Amino acid sequence: MGLIDFIRSAGEKVFGTGEAAAAPTTDETVLSKRATALEEHVRGLALPVEGLKIKVAGDVAYVKGTAATQEAREKVLLAVGNVEGIARVEDRIEVAAAQPEARFYTVVKGDTLSAIAKKQYGDANQYPKIFEANKPMLRHPDKIYPGQVLRVP
């Protein structure tokens, strides 16, 4: 997959407040705290990846590990990238069984999962497919925000 772009000012607030949440920095202690926070975030979502290791440099996250499926790999990358303060994710995750990649869609103002399904599949009633493909990052089909990147299988 390589490098995936995200909107740095949009996303979950994983870094909290204080120095770890500050603007991009070169301070190794702060970057280490951000990497740890991202790793804990992914583990909290119970995404299946072995040997997860994340390094942060500025607003770029480098993600390593081994995922059993392409779907798990993509969910880990989206969980990391859809965090406020992260603008890019460098994918270094290996997949045990090769599978086709999903498409990605960046939510814009006014979007709903139904509208996205209509654009992507020609049928608004296909929105549950997109919702399921983005669990556990999405907890409710109405809770999407501009700048969020979604998997579209």
Q: Identify the structural domains of the chain with CATH numbers, from first to last.
A: 3-95 (1.10.287), 103-152 (3.10.350.10)
pLDDT for residue 19 = 47
At residue 126, does pLDDT exceed 70?
Answer: yes
Q: In the numeric block, which tokens belong to residue 70?
A: 């392409």
Helix-strand-coil percent breakdown of the chain, rounded to 5? Answer: 35, 25, 40
119 φ, ψ to 5°? Answer: -65, -40
At residue 29, does pLDDT exceed 60?
Answer: yes
> 115-128: buried (b, 16+ CB within 10 Å) or exposed (e) per residue?
ebbeebeeeeebbe
The pTM of the full predicted model, rounded to 2 decimals, is 0.85
Q: Taking residues 91-114, what's their average pLDDT?
A: 92
As a whole-number percent, the residues of the chain with pLDDT over 90 amount to: 73
